[in-house]
Amino acid sequence: MTVLDGKKLANKIIDGLKQKIQKLDIKPSIAVILANDNPASKIYVKNKEKKALELGCNSYIYSFDENVKEDEIISLIEKLNKDKNINAILAQLPLFKHLDEQKILNTIEPVKDVDGFTIYNTGCLAQNAKPYSIPCTPKGIIKLLKEYNIKLDGKNIVVIGRSNIVGKPLSLLLLNENATVTMAHSKTKNLKEVCLKADIIISATGQKNLIKADMIKKDAIVVDVGISRNSDNKITGDVDFENVKNKASYITPVPGGIGPMTIACLIENTYELFLKQNCLEK
Amino acid sequence: MTVLDGKKLANKIIDGLKQKIQKLDIKPSIAVILANDNPASKIYVKNKEKKALELGCNSYIYSFDENVKEDEIISLIEKLNKDKNINAILAQLPLFKHLDEQKILNTIEPVKDVDGFTIYNTGCLAQNAKPYSIPCTPKGIIKLLKEYNIKLDGKNIVVIGRSNIVGKPLSLLLLNENATVTMAHSKTKNLKEVCLKADIIISATGQKNLIKADMIKKDAIVVDVGISRNSDNKITGDVDFENVKNKASYITPVPGGIGPMTIACLIENTYELFLKQNCLEK
């Protein structure tokens, strides 16, 4: 059994980006909109900023309290769209409940949509055309699998969870890689049976211990995208790691698996948008 | 075993539309671009026109020969986009090889995109937002299944074929209906095994006799979207109908199954775009 070391690969990607960014005269810039007071969102945003700054990018956080009006955020995004010094715009999800997520996300110009969550970039991904950005978590998952020379072509892959952020774009990307993809979710009736047939299981539900050893076939590859906290406040994923690891051929840990890959891909997306806007080659 | 009678349901839909369209002062109008000299495309376009006229719509066909320049088609679409008398624009696929299909399709304003093939409408469908139009064949398949009270929620459904026109949008629609969807295709290695687990099999490959009786479980539901011609020039589908029908609980015939549903949904989409552009209720 091999642990898929997301932290190691993320560091490798980040080191590569650091060198490229150092050579630039102008630095890539990311603007982050934080319109939510949940502590986890604040930590995510802080971590993203820390990493961006560490790599020599500029990072600007726009924080709003619960009294913010939708129009204020829309106006800000319109201003950022026009601002030549801003290459990437990110609206940290979820937003306060009174805000229209769809509307706010789709105010972002596709060419600055660093998360790839706009209708335009989603449509490109679904048609296997060229989106400006590919959502960071799905992108990170595929990079990590490829780093370990795991073939996707013709493989039976089950993706559990159908969010617009992870499950759906990931399924479409895996389809573009010629995998046979099953999209499973909370309404799936026979999850165990579905999982037992899979060469690769990717779980993105946030449900603790959903994937147990008796649900995977021997030597399956297991990718855990879930992040939650167990009773002693320790970070844990969707997979019963201790038991599943003895049956899997490859498995991602939580933490240290997909989490760091997501941040590395966010910085990579920022850098790539910078290049596209400045018509430079990679 | 019940044959899913697409012709009957299509006629019912068309009769309903006819009555609604008769009551309108202005008639819905569709413009069709034919830039391909393949005889099948010409027949499809003629059939679409015939049905549109029969229902009291206006239909305009713009035919081009192989010397057409991409710019001519782009200019025409831009003119049609602005033309208030045109509600729906359709570019019959495939186009001549020298034409950029993506570019031409995406010149169509999403609000006039009657096939739902633009990046924008695809993105809406993928995000379970509201596209202006849903692609006609997937829409017709789901309508036909629902007509026979076939439940989709929690069902294991295999979709074979991953085109932007049928397989992919259909998979996304079925996911929105809470089905557990497997996307299979030419690179799928164990198609028989995949199909044997399915409650519903939907084949859209154009490969004659791909789906045989030993590939389906007893009482499975089989939907055949394929259209090809066998050695004696008879129209046939992807499914070995004569043998499969004895094992299936429901099955669509070819012809008379999904084909008529596609045309009915095209007229319905035209009518619905007309209402949206004129801000009328259904």
Token pair recorded at residue B253: 């015939």
Out of A102, A156, A194, name the one closest to residue B180 (CB).
A194
Percent of the residues in chain B that have a pLDDT greater than 90, as a whole number: 95
Domains of chain B: 25-120 (3.40.50.10860), 136-259 (3.40.50.720)
- Residue A48 is among the residues annotated as catalytic for this protein: yes
> Looking at the predicted structure, is the pLDDT value of residue A231 above 90?
no
How near does any CA of chain B get to the CA of A35, in Å?
A: 22
Of the pLDDT bands very low, low, confident and very high (cuts 50, 70, 90), residue B160 is very high
Band the pLDDT of B92: cuts 50, 70, 90: very high
Model confidence at B40, in pLDDT bands (50, 70, 90)? confident
Residue at A201: amino acid letter: I
Q: What is the pLDDT of residue B245?
A: 98
Give one DSSP letter per residue of B91-110, joined into a string.
Answer: EPSSPPTTS-HHHHHTTS-G
Tell me if B180 and A171 make a contact (CB, 8 A cut-off). no
From the list A120, A187, A188, the residue facing B123 with the nearest CB is A120
3-class secondary structure, B263: helix
Kindly identify which residue of chain A lies nearest to residue B128, measuring between CA atoms.
Answer: A164
Q: Chain B residues within 8 A (CB-CB) of chain A?
A: 102, 118-129, 153-154, 156, 162, 164, 168, 171-172, 175, 178-185, 187-190, 193-194, 197
> Which residues in chain A have Cβ-Cβ distances shorter than 8 Å to B197?
193, 197
Q: Which residues of B are catalytic?
A: 48, 92, 115
Q: Which residue of A has its CA nearest to B168?
A: A126
Mean pLDDT, residues A189-201? 97
Percent of chain B topping pLDDT 70: 99
Contact A178 B187 (CB under 8 A): yes
Question: Mind telling me how many Å the CA of A177 is from chain B's nearest CA?
Answer: 10
Residue among B102, B123, B188 minimizing CB distance to A180:
B188
Provide the mean pLDDT of chain B.
Answer: 97
Per-residue pLDDT at A270: 98
Contact residues on chain B for A156, CB-CB shorter than 8 A: 190, 194
A228 DSSP β-pair partners: A236
B97/chain A closest Cα distance in angstroms:
18
Chain A residues close to B182, C-beta within 8 Å = 180-183
CB contact under 8 A, A118 and B122: no
ipTM of the predicted structure?
A: 0.96
User: Is the CB of A154 less than 8 angstroms away from the CB of B122?
Assistant: no
From B231's Cα to the closest Cα of chain A, the distance in A is 31
Confidence of residue A229 (pLDDT cuts 50, 70, 90): confident
Tokens of B267: 């007229």
CA–chain centroid gap for B190, Å, is 27
Long-range pairs for A125-129 at CB < 8 Å and ≥24 separation?
A125/A169, A125/A172, A125/A173, A125/B126, A126/A172, A126/B122, A126/B123, A126/B125, A126/B126, A126/B164, A126/B168, A126/B172, A127/B102, A127/B119, A127/B122, A127/B164, A127/B168, A128/A172, A128/A176, A128/B164, A129/B102, A129/B119
Instruction: Say what the pLDDT of residue B106 is.
Output: 98
Token pair, residue A215, equals 């649900």
**How far does the CA of residue A173 sit from the closest CA of chain B (Å)?**
12
Q: How far apart are CA A260 and CA A151, in angstroms?
A: 22
Residue B282 has pLDDT above 80, yes or no: no
Q: Beta-carbon neighbour count of residue A245 at 10 Å?
A: 17
A189 contacts in B (CB within 8 Å)?
Answer: 154, 180
**Mutation for B interface: A101, A102, A119, most B CBs within 10 A:** A119
pLDDT at A182 > cutoff 90: yes
- Indicate yes or no: CB of B154 within 8 angstroms of CB of A187: yes
Q: Are A154 and B187 in contact (CB under 8 A)?
A: yes
Contact A122 B126 (CB under 8 A): yes
Q: Are A15 and A261 contacting, i.e. CB atoms less than 8 angstroms apart?
A: no
Does this model's pTM top 0.80? My answer is yes
Give the tokens for residue B118: 């633009």
A156 contacts B190? CB cut-off 8 A: yes
pLDDT tens for each residue of B234-258: 999 999 999 999 999 999 999 999 9
> What integer pLDDT is reported at residue A40 of this predicted model?
86
Q: Please give the Cα distance from A181 to B175 (Å, whole number).
A: 12
Residue type, A96: F
Q: Which residues of B touch A188 (CB under 8 A)?
A: 154, 180
pLDDT more than 90, % of chain A:
95
Cα A37 from chain centroid (whole Å)? 21
pLDDT tens across A115-155, in order? 999 999 999 999 999 999 999 999 999 999 999 999 999 99
Q: Which residues contact A192 (CB under 8 A, 6 or more apart)?
A: A214, A215
Please report, to the nearest 10 degrees, the dihedral formed by the alpha carbons of residues B154, B156, B159, B160 taken in order. 170
Alpha carbon A28 to chain centroid distance? Answer: 20
Q: Is B32 helix (H, G, I), strand (E, B) or coil?
A: strand
What pLDDT score was predicted for residue B229?
87
CA-CA distances (angstroms) from residue A150 to A4, A8, A251, B167, B233? 11, 17, 12, 26, 45
CB contact under 8 A, B185 and A197: no
Q: How far is CA B18 from CA A156, B23, B51, B54, in A?
A: 46, 9, 10, 8
pLDDT, one tens digit per residue, over A57-69 is 999 999 999 999 9
pLDDT given for residue B261 in this prediction? 98
Sequence-separated (6 or more) residues with CB below 8 Å from residue B279: none
Report yes or no: A238 and A205 within 8 Å, Cβ to Cβ. yes
Distance from CA of A123 to the nearest CA of B (A): 4
Closest in B127, B178, B194 to A122, CB measured: B127
Residue A282's pLDDT is what? 66
Nearest to A194 by CA among B191, B190, B194, B170: B194
Q: Is the pLDDT of residue A279 over 90?
A: no
The residue from A5, A51, A92, A155 that is catalytic is A92
**Residue-level pLDDT at B281:** 67
Are B120 and A119 a contacting pair at CB < 8 A? yes
**Looking at residues A225-233, what average pLDDT do you find?**
89
Mean pLDDT of A94-104: 97
CA pseudo-torsion sign B257, A175, A106, B180: positive
Closest by CA to A159, choosing from A207, A190, A124, A205, is A205
